[in-house]
Amino acid sequence: MIPFNRATFDGKELAYLAQAVADGHVSGNGPFTRRAEAALEVGHGTGRTLLTTSCTHALEMAALLGRFAPGDEVIVPAYTFVSTASAFLLHGATPVFVDVRPDTLNLCPDLVEAAITERTRAICIVHYGGVGATPRRFREIADRHGLLLVEDNAHGLFGVEDGGVLGTFGHLSTLSFHETKNVTCGEGGALHGNDPVLVERAEILREKGTDRSRFLRGQVDKYTWVDVGSSWVLSDLLAGVLVGQLERFEDLQARRHAIWDRYHAATAGWAAEHGVRRPLDPATAPHTAHLYHLRFASLEVRTRFIAHLREREVLAVFHYQPLHLSTVGERLGGRPGQHPVTEDAGDTLVRLPLFAGLTDVEVDRVLDAVTSFRP
């Protein structure tokens, strides 16, 4: 069976993990943590990066930094991972779901403008598949309405749009290093801050509400409890693995793009013949090669397609389900037909295997399985 995803550690990842053990610093804020954060800051070109135990925890930190009160609202995509919404709900704000664009599956700016009310306090955008969600437009909207802008950049590490790096347009952005991401340490994430005031408090939140980071820099002679917070510091063991991945970033990306390009070229005629929707041309929609998706005419056809591939020992999977139709989403007022693009994607989208360790022979097998399907 060709898996949907397989993490590859072919560089110095395991050697750095062993080095962390040998050096005796396996908790957070160690040498590898500093190296990883420095590399991420260089890649963004601006701001400060703090490693976290997951992208979900980075989003929860962003929610705490928003200082939301009961009745406050945060606009989020209806088509996204649950953490994009649950982080804000957990920390005092009500997520307001807005539909996505049919071409990129990113938040629609016009619909967001229409959804802003006197209770809106923030907008959280997602760069789906590593395609930029017109972040400069959203920053303009946020500034005009006095709102916090958060970029959930789990798919878009070092992606570029609107003349800038994804993650540098918002006041805050988040990253994921889960095993399915382009760069991974198994589980991990990061909060990237472009506002020094927010970054200063973020350090405290990440350290259980203490000013321990200032103590470690020698700025105070002892540390104490100064704010709320939790234990969101990534182990230096995992930071070592992450450093090894970041050192290979260009090679990992080159391989992912090569696979993405082969999928796109080889499925063009088949998709046109059978009415299968594909991602936008990368010439007009630059991306990070995070995923390659196909969209079919219906849930029934997609179900048959996934079964067809499985019979040929290829594992393909669907993606997000509409958050407004989830159990929690319905409690918040979600109802069928409310966000049609999201609902269509939830029923019809399927992702093909895409990871740097996928061999050319395996890519051939995937494409043979795909193009032998007749919707």
Domains contained in the chain, CATH given: 13-247 (3.40.640.10), 249-371 (3.90.1150.10)
pTM value surpassing 0.95: yes
Average pLDDT of the residues in 160-172: 96
User: Of 314, 212, 229, 226, nearest to 263 (Cα)?
Assistant: 314
Give the list of residues 6+ apart from residue 92 with CB closer than 8 angstroms, or none: 63, 68, 69, 70, 72
Specify the pLDDT at position 28: 92
pLDDT band per the 50, 70, 90 thresholds, residue 212: confident
pLDDT in tens, 316-342: 999 999 999 999 999 999 999 999 999
In this predicted structure, the answer to whether residue 141 has a pLDDT above a threshold of 90 is yes
- Worst-scoring range by mean pLDDT, 86-95, 125-134, 219-228, 244-253? 219-228
pLDDT on residue 103: 97
Confidence class of residue 216 from pLDDT cuts 50, 70 and 90?
confident
Tokens of 294: 């196909």
Give 216 or 136, the one with higher predicted confidence: 136
Which pLDDT band holds residue 40 (cuts at 50, 70, 90)?
very high
The mean of the pLDDT values for the chain is 97
Name the DSSP letter for residue 26.
Answer: -
Say whether pLDDT at 230 is over 90: yes
User: At residue 222, does pLDDT exceed 90?
Assistant: no
- 103-130 confidence digits (pLDDT tens): 999 999 999 999 999 999 999 999 999 9
- Please choose, from the candidates 242, 233, 130, the residue with its C-alpha nearest in 3D space to the C-alpha of residue 179: 242
Q: What is the pLDDT of residue 177?
A: 98
Cα–Cα distance list, 303 to 167, 208, 373, 374 (Å) = 35, 45, 12, 13
- 217 has a pLDDT exceeding 90: no
Q: For residue 170, what pLDDT band results from cuts at 50, 70 and 90?
A: very high
Query: DSSP secondary structure string, 141-166?
Result: HHHHHT-EEEEE-TT-TT-EETTEET
Q: Determine the 3-state secondary structure of 12 from DSSP.
A: coil
DSSP letter for 129, please.
Answer: G
For residue 238, with 0-12 CB atoms within 10 Å meaning exposed, 13-18 middle and 19 or more buried, which class applies? Answer: buried
- The predicted pLDDT at position 188 comes to 98
* pLDDT at residue number 120: 98
Nearest-CA neighbor of 156 among 106, 122, 215? 106
Measure the CA–CA gap between 143 and 5, rounded to whole angstroms. 39
Mean pLDDT, to the nearest integer, of 47-71? 97
Provide mean pLDDT across the span 80-105: 97
Percentage with pLDDT > 90 across the chain:
95
pLDDT of residue 344: 98
